[in-house]
Amino acid sequence: MSSSIRRSLLAGERLWQRARFACKQAPTRIARDIFSWRFALLVLSSLIVVYPLLWVVSLAFSGQQSLTLVRLPEDAGIAQQLMVLIPLPEHWSLANFRAVLTEQPFLRWLGNSLIVAFATTIVGLSLSCTAAYAFSRFRFPGRARGMLLFLISQMFPAVLMLIPLYVIVVQWLGLGNSWLGLILVYSITALPFCVWMLKGYFDTLPFEIEESALLEGASRWTIFTRIILPLARPAIAVTGLFAFMTAWNEFILASIFMDEESRYTVPVGLRFFVSDYASEWGFFAAGSILVSLPVMLLFLWLQRFLVSGLSAGAVKG
């Protein structure tokens, strides 16, 4: 786990180096980039994306549980008044983070979540890659109906699945209070998207490679593992991220299935800060930021796969 984080950090470092290198190398290109419409669009949308998050960040670092309400200065210029609307804590403090990390076994929950989420990713991907490959490459009776079955599972409102899922996982399978139960449910929840998405990607891969491999006597399994999977790396990265997120942020099933605090996942732990009457939003914000860090590291690491695949890969044409 730590090595994957280190690797992600390295990836970030490398990106930064590359950026600096690029700065030195081609100032004119950068200038051209910066003054393009595309860049303006990206900056604008980044600002829109970041603004609400700034409230979360400033709440987390304020050391308080609720935000100071903005007071518009009466006779200031428009620019100054707008500046006031940028949320920044009055005093920066790490108190919230400290409390979140020390008052409860937060790191342990984070570790539990990592285990569950990675296992979900692996189980979900291996189930969905094989299924998607079959749906994409074979013609067999029940194929369309099978695809539809995956879709139907997403249509039934999750709120009403709670009790039946509890009955199956806890009562029938006896998997209450175990991660296995959670992993099973999460990976199957993620399956429909993964299967549909991967099937879509597999459809875009040219058939010619496979046909020539078949002619040379390669088995289906070899083709699948040696040709298709490497080619579909961008798709696998995307669906893997999705499966990871499915498990990472799920709260209600985890809190229902687990009967021991040391087995809670991190979303369950986070919800301790929110209750009917009083909620400790400062802790919740700090915890949310901590929870999002592994996701960002994972994404940094996955980014490399988003740029390779068929177009950059070895098998052109």
Partner 1 sequence: MIIAPICRSQLAGESVARSKPRCSPAGRLLQALLCLLIFFSGKVLAAETLNLWHGYRGAERAAFEQLIEDYNRSQSDVQVKALAVPFGGYADKLSAALPRGQGPDLFVFAHDRLGGWASAGHTVAPIDRYVGEHLLGRFPPNLIEAMTFGGELYGLPLAFKSPALILNTDLVQAAPATTDAMVAEARRHTDRKAGRFGLAYSYTEPFFHGALMNSFGRGPFDRGGNLDLANSANIASVEMLARWARQDRILPEEPSSTLVTSLFNQGRAAMVISGPWMLGEIAPGVNYRVVPLPVNSESGLPLAPWVAVEGLFLSPWSEHPAAAVAVMDYLTSRQSAEKMAIEGGQLPANISAFEHPSIATDETAMAFRRQLEATVPIPNLPAMTLLWVPLENVLKKVVKGAAQPEAEMRQLQRSLSADLARLERSRARGEHRAQMPAWLWLLPAALALAAWLLWRRYRAQLAAGWRTHRTAYLYILPAILGMLVLVLFPLLYGLLLSFTDTTVFNEHTPLWSRLIGLDNYAAILGDFHLWRGQGSERSLDFDNFYWTLLITILWTVSNVTLAVGLALILALALDKPIFGRAWFRLILILPWAIPNYITALVWKGMFHPQFGAINQGLQVLGMAPVAWFDSIGASFFTGLVTNVWLSIPFMMVVILGGLQSIPRELYEVARVEGAGRWFQFRTITLPLLKPVLIPAVILSVVWTFNMFNVIYLVSDGAPAGANDILITKAFRIGFEKYQYAYAAAYSMVILALLFCYAMWQMRVSRTLEATR
Binding to partner 1 (CB under 8 A): which residues in 199-238? 199-201, 203-205, 220, 234-235, 237-238
- Closest approach, Cβ 155 to partner 1, in A, equals 4
**With binding defined as CB under 8 A, does residue 141 bind partner 1?**
yes
Binding mask 272-311 for partner 1 (x = CB under 8 A): xxxxxxxxxx--xx--xx-xx--xx--xx--x--xxxxxx
Burial 215-233 (b: 16+ CB within 10 A, else e): eeeeeeeebbeebbbebbb
Q: Considering only CA atoms, which of 211, 210, 186 is closest in space to residue 265?
A: 186
Token pair 């595309």 is found at: 38
Q: How many residues touch partner 1 (CB under 8 A)?
A: 145
**116 vs 289 by CB, closer to partner 1:** 289
Say if residues 234 and 305 touch (Cβ distance below 8 Å).
Answer: yes
Select from 4, 5, 81, 213 the one that contacts partner 1 (CB under 8 A). Answer: 81
CA distances from 82 to 54, 58, 79, 85 (A): 15, 17, 5, 5
Select from 61, 106, 135, 179 the one that contacts partner 1 (CB under 8 A). Answer: 135
Say if residues 223 and 292 touch (Cβ distance below 8 Å).
Answer: no
Say if residues 118 and 244 touch (Cβ distance below 8 Å).
Answer: yes
**160 vs 314 by CB, closer to partner 1:** 160
**211 vs 261 by CB, closer to partner 1:** 261
**With binding defined as CB under 8 A, does residue 261 bind partner 1?**
yes
**With binding defined as CB under 8 A, does residue 314 bind partner 1?**
no
Say if residues 123 and 187 touch (Cβ distance below 8 Å).
Answer: yes
Alpha helices in 156-232 (DSSP H): 162-166, 179-204, 208-215, 220-222, 229-231
**With binding defined as CB under 8 A, does residue 92 bind partner 1?**
no
HSE-CB at 75 with a 13 A cutoff on CA atoms is 0
**147 vs 229 by CB, closer to partner 1:** 147
Select from 9, 70, 107, 180 the one that contacts partner 1 (CB under 8 A). Answer: 70
DSSP 3-state of 107: helix
**235 vs 247 by CB, closer to partner 1:** 235
- Closest approach, Cβ 42 to partner 1, in A, equals 5
**With binding defined as CB under 8 A, does residue 21 bind partner 1?**
no
Select from 28, 159, 216, 314 the one that contacts partner 1 (CB under 8 A). Answer: 159
Say if residues 49 and 282 touch (Cβ distance below 8 Å).
Answer: no
Select from 1, 9, 42, 94 the one that contacts partner 1 (CB under 8 A). Answer: 42
**With binding defined as CB under 8 A, does residue 5 bind partner 1?**
no
- Closest approach, Cβ 163 to partner 1, in A, equals 6
